[in-house]
Structures are given as structure tokens and as C-alpha cells.
Amino acid sequence: MRLVVGRIGRAHGIRGDVAVDVRTDDPEARFTVGAELRTDPAQVGPLKIASIRRHSGRLLIRFEGMADRDAAETLRGTLLMVDSEDIAPLDDPDEFHDHELIGLTAVTTEGETVGAVEDVLHHAQDVLVITGEAGHEILVPFVAALVPEVDVAGGRIVLDPPPGLLDLQNTD
């Protein structure tokens, strides 16, 4: 699975630097000199990082082969991506990358299949977006009391919902 880690913005200066809108939790690991990033659209890349610097709170990157402003401007709007296989698992067994959760089958503590995790929302509380077997959307707060078990290797998460949580969202 490919994960978006940044989006190229406008060119900066005359030497081929571009501003990058960072979309990753670990920019120091994703954006290093020599790193090669996949792109969307694919025909633009892959792009290899030649230099990195910060300026006024923004990440500025120069890619190999982009020697001037005109070349850099052609990259504007390009998404920068990495393969999920290249991202190391987190050290904390109770923390997960979104891509590890998406696609897992959600079952209740009684073994009843609820659906599949389609997305993870990050607001005041992390929320799992589960598509139920009937195609409806179920939102489950991602807290230990409601999600007591996450088995990434086994491809499932276990839900222990309070009465009505799954029923209330299945009223369509």
C-alpha cells in the first residue's frame, strides 16, 4: 500500500527548491537526503532528495535533476509517497499506523463479524470507520474499553461495544 507523506507546493528561490506540505508523523525519517520517493502522478517520479532545509517553518526540498525554478515549478501539486512495507512498526504494542488497521476485520467479543476497518479519523479522539456487512458506516472510538484487542497479524480487531453502539448506527 502506498502512503502519502507530502505534497509539493510552489517553487522557492531560483535553485530548484520546492516547499513541501508534510503529511506524515515522522518527517525526519521520511525526508532524508538520498531518499527516493514515489509520486502521483507516477510519470513525474520517482524523485530522489538532493537537499533539505527549513525556512520560516516550512520544509524546503531540492530533488535531483531540478536545477532551477522552472523545473521545480513543474512538480507543483505532486504527491510524495512511500510503500507501507518500508515503514517500521511502532515500538509501543498499543500504538498502530493507520495502514496497519485499515482492512482488518472487526468482530465482537462473541465472535460476530461486524465489518471491515475502512479508515481511521484523527480528531479529538481517534475513531475507527468500519463498513458493516450491509454496507453501512459504523464509527467506533478507538479506545481500549471498546477495542480490547488488535491482532494485526491475524487480520482482525475485537470490539466490546456497549449496548446500542452497533445498533444505533445500523438504522438506515
Task: Let me know if residue 92 belongs to a domain.
Answer: no
What pLDDT is stored for residue 88 in this prediction?
Answer: 62
Residues 52 and 110 in one domain: no
Q: Which of 27, 62, 86 is the last residue of a domain?
A: 86
What range defines the domain where residue 50 resides?
Answer: 2-86
Domain boundary among 86, 112, 146: 86
pLDDT tens-place string over residues 15-32: 899 999 888 767 887 888
Q: What pLDDT is recorded for position 86?
A: 65
Residue 136 inside a domain? The answer is yes
3-state per-residue secondary structure call for the chain = CEEEEEEEEEEECCCCEEEEEECCCCHHHHCCCCCEEEEECHHHCCEEEEEEEEECCEEEEEECCCCCHHHHHCCCCCEEEEEHHHCCCCCCCCCCCHHHHCCCEEEECCCCEEEEEEEEEECCCEEEEEEECCCCEEEEECCCCCCCEEECCCCEEEECCCCCHHHHCCCC
Number of domains within the chain: 2
Same domain assignment for residues 78 and 131: no
Residues 6 and 56 in one domain: yes
pLDDT at 81: 86
Pair (79, 7) in one structural domain: yes
* 107 belongs to a structural domain: yes
Residue 121 lies in a domain: yes
**Which of 31, 55, 86 marks a domain boundary?**
86
In a domain, 93, yes or no: no
Q: Is the pTM of this model over 0.75?
A: no
Confidence of residue 92 (pLDDT cuts 50, 70, 90): low
The answer to the question of residue 91 being in a domain is no
Q: What is the pLDDT of residue 105?
A: 93
107 and 78 in one domain?
Answer: no
Instruction: Say if 130 falls within a structural domain.
Output: yes
